[in-house]
A and B are shown apart, each in its own frame.
Chain A
Amino acid sequence: MIQERGKHRAYISLLLPALLIYTLIIIYPIFMSLGLSFTKWKHFKMVGFVGFDNYLAIIADPSFQTAMWHNIQIMLISVLGQIPLGIMLAYLIYRQWVKHSKFFEMMIFLPITISSVVVALLWNRVFSPVGIYTELIRTITHNPDYVVKIFENKTFAMIPILVVLLWQHTSLYMVIFLANLQRIPESIFEAATLDGAKESTIITRIVLPSLSNVIFTCSVLAISGSLKSFDLVYAMTAGGPVDYTSVMALYLYKQTFTYNNYGFGSAVSIIIVLLSVGLITFVRYLYAKAQRKYE
């Protein structure tokens, strides 16, 4: 009995420092933010509680709706673009269907090692009105007025950002999938080939089920990462022109730190957290359903 109590004390004393730090820097700010989200601020002072007014105003704000739609686009390109492409590239390299696969592995991985801000500056340098690409097209077409118009298009201005995200982050997923593919015993592939299984059968019956755990983890990473996208978008366009490339985190940033609407900004952050949790729960449900199918 005394020994058990001693054990408990030891466990608690070991856990306590981490728990304290976690509470201070994660739990407390979340609850603080939740509390703030029901308040209104004016002239840098809290002027009172407003219930769900902030939430209702955010949902009704067309700027927020635009920003949320852009986050959804980023999420779609992450989950339906980066992850499948990552699997395909990893599989190509794993099966050594390309020569010098080590070289390609390194080249594909390179973009993720570069800071998002540097990536944004590089792409801006290429495609800006005084950038290399623009100058080149102007020279070839003898059209001095040429600029990359897609950046100014209300509907399609996000596309360049989505392309950069796809280019930059696919490599991370490729490396994760490649590492996990290497854990599948070689003999399974050999046995399947001897049994006359087609490549498509190997992929759908062996590879994907073996990677399902990783795909789920990557989807969670992709969803949460997409909803809090900030650095690349901020450095590339800062949400402009107008709000054609704005995202929820930028909207939050402006409301909180530029207009000092701390209550409103906190409500945006809570909405982002709720969306993340909701979507991850949905992916978890899909994953459980898929697992049951393979069992």
Chain B
Amino acid sequence: MKRTIALVVALVVLGSVMVFSAGNKEAAAADGKIHLRAYMQVEPADSQYAGHNAIMASFAKEYPNIVIETEHASGEAFHQKFQAMAASKQMPDVFTCYGGARTAYVTEAGLALDLAKEYLTEDFKKGYSSATWAPQGKNGEIWMVPPSLAVCHVVYSNDKLLAQLGLTFPKTYDEWLTQIPVIRSAGYYVASLGNKDPWVMNSWILSLLVDRLGGPQWFMQAAQGKGASFTDQPFVRSLEIIQEMTKKGMFSPGVNQMSNPEADQEFYQGKSVYLIDAGWRTSAMDSDLPVDLKESISMHVFPAISGEVTHNTSTATVSEGFGISASLKGTAKADAAWKFIEYYSGPIGAAIRAEYGEVPTYNLDLNKIKMDTMQSKFAKFQSEYGMGYVFDAIMGGEGVNMLNEDIQAMMLGNGEPKAIATKYEKFVAANDLNRL
């Protein structure tokens, strides 16, 4: 009798669990709406994503029949879980992915829809800046629509300090070097940079130097090993400049121990005259800095270098955007996901994000949009300077990581430019996808 009662209780419990755990799904189907499961590399609480939050709210209002259930993660945690999703084929409907190799575990594995085949039309593409549509896959695939360009090199200057020291932003690299003793003797650091994570030096300075000294054609030849290599002068000279800047005291002490936020703080507190950082820092500056400080900050690019072949350039990449799961191909869900991406990156989303300081890939007349101080400076910056490539967005991750560590070692006095270039070239020749 007891056994029968126990069995009945167990079955009731099991049955209840099964019924109630299926509740959401039933409700989803019953409410007549399309529910999209999204996985985004976004931190909604971070002021940098205020524009994103505003678009999500606006989209929900505009399209009440499309419900986006979002899971957020950032940094390495985002990639770990995304890799697990990819490996178990439990892909979300909409997700953040990269145009480069960073999310190749999804794009190369055929888990992302090729938007070029499914949705992108020439009419649609016309609305965006041409750099938006650089091929992302080996066969010209487009996995995601980048809502904005990631500008990876800006030299911010504190003009109030510069004026106080009787200096102006240097026109040449050599002039910049001559400013070091002046700035240091006045008790300030020259340039704040947080290279604790060693990719910073690569993304924000090396890319710029290589582009200036070698130009895009030489770089593509070196990447593919066709008539050029990383032992050539442009690459070696770029490393030499980083070494020279370090030795001559251009960077704050402990540059390789300092994180990005710490370097930013040093600059904001008026301890350094320059900050070398990315363009997207402007949104945080607008929300965190007092008006007088924002007004005294200017945005420049690295001064002219002797022997450079491209001039007055910064660097930018399409970086990341939202993609759609390949498993949704041809379904109403895929159409709903595209509707969201279109809204996010198109005229409405672009205008909202521009108000929050992002400079969108969608062609907007930014003069008509009311922007904060730093955001309007950033918009002007993008219209004034040409954009070169970002080295680590093109070259394979394993080799770049090795190179970054070697550059960091060189900055600490344990390496020489030529030896680093030779080691990197050897690695690229044997392993990099660009050469294979």
Contact = CB atoms under 8 A, between A and B. Distances in A.
A44 B108 contact: yes
A147 B108 contact: no
A240 B196 contact: yes
Nearest to B79: A257
Given A128-B259, A129-B262, A240-B196, A147 B412 contact: no
B252 A129 contact: yes
A44 B101 CA distance: 12
Given A128-B254, A152-B412, A44 B109 contact: yes
Contacts of A152: 254, 256-257, 412
Interface centre among A145, A147, A241, A243 (most CB of B within 10 A): A241
The 9 closest A-B pairs by CB, nearest first: A129-B254, A147-B254, A259-B398, A145-B253, A242-B409, A241-B256, A130-B262, A242-B405, A147-B253
Contact of A128 (B83, B262, B412, B433): B262
A155 to B, nearest CB: 11
Interface centre among B83, B257, B265, B406 (most CB of A within 10 A): B257
A238 to B, nearest CB: 7
Given A130-B258, A152-B257, A240-B196, 9 more contacts: A44-B104, A147-B253, A152-B254, A240-B197, A241-B256, A242-B198, A254-B401, A257-B80, A258-B401
A171 to B, nearest CB: 28
A52 interface: no
Contacts of B265: 130
Contacts of B255: 129
Given A147-B257, A242-B414, A258-B397, A130 B108 contact: no
A235 to B, nearest CB: 11
Contact of A242 (B104, B105, B408, B433): B408
Interface string A234-261: 0000101111000000000010011110
A144 interface: yes
Contacts of B258: 128-130
A254 B398 CA distance: 9
Interface residues of B, number: 34
The secondary structure that dominates the A interface is loop
A124 to B, nearest CB: 8
A254 B197 CA distance: 14
B227 interface: no
Contacts of B406: 242
Contacts of B358: none
Interface of B: 76, 79-80, 83, 104-105, 108-109, 187, 189, 196-198, 252-259, 262, 265-266, 397-398, 401, 405-406, 408-409, 412, 414, 433
25 contacts: A44-B108, A128-B259, A129-B262, A130-B258, A130-B266, A144-B187, A144-B189, A145-B253, A146-B253, A147-B257, A148-B257, A151-B257, A240-B196, A240-B256, A240-B405, A240-B408, A241-B408, A241-B412, A242-B406, A242-B409, A257-B79, A257-B80, A257-B83, A258-B397, A258-B401
A38 B104 CA distance: 23
A154 interface: yes
A259 B398 CA distance: 6
A293 interface: no
Nearest to B83: A257
B397 A259 contact: yes
B255 to A, nearest CB: 8
Given A44-B108, A151-B257, A243 B252 contact: no
Contacts of B196: 238, 240-241
A145 B255 CA distance: 11
Chain A interface size, as a band, is: 20 to 34
A145 B397 CA distance: 34
Contacts of A43: 104, 108, 433
B420 to A, nearest CB: 12
B105 A241 contact: no
Contacts of B253: 129, 144-147
Contacts of A130: 258, 262, 265-266
Interface in A212-253: 238, 240-243
Nearest to A246: B405
Contacts of A241: 196, 198, 256-257, 408-409, 412
Interface centre among B76, B80, B256 (most CB of A within 10 A): B256
Contacts of B197: 238, 240
B107 to A, nearest CB: 10
Interface string A102-139: 00000000000000000000000000111000100000
A145 B83 CA distance: 43
B431 to A, nearest CB: 10
Interface centre among A128, A129, A144, A254 (most CB of B within 10 A): A129
Contacts of B259: 128
A240 B409 CA distance: 10
Contacts of B405: 240, 242-243
Contacts of A258: 397-398, 401
Contacts of A151: 257
Given A44-B105, A257-B83, A242 B254 contact: no
Contacts of B105: 44, 260
Contacts of A242: 198, 405-406, 408-409, 412, 414
Nearest to A152: B412
Contacts of B189: 144
Nearest to B405: A242
Contacts of A146: 253
Contacts of A154: 412, 414
Contacts of A147: 253-254, 257
A123 to B, nearest CB: 12
Nearest to B433: A43
Contacts of B257: 128-129, 147-148, 151-152, 241
Contacts of A128: 254, 257-259, 262
Nearest to A138: B253
A260 B408 CA distance: 23
Contacts of B104: 43-44, 260
A152 B411 CA distance: 10
B49 to A, nearest CB: 22
A98 B38 CA distance: 59
Contacts of B397: 258-259
Nearest to A149: B254
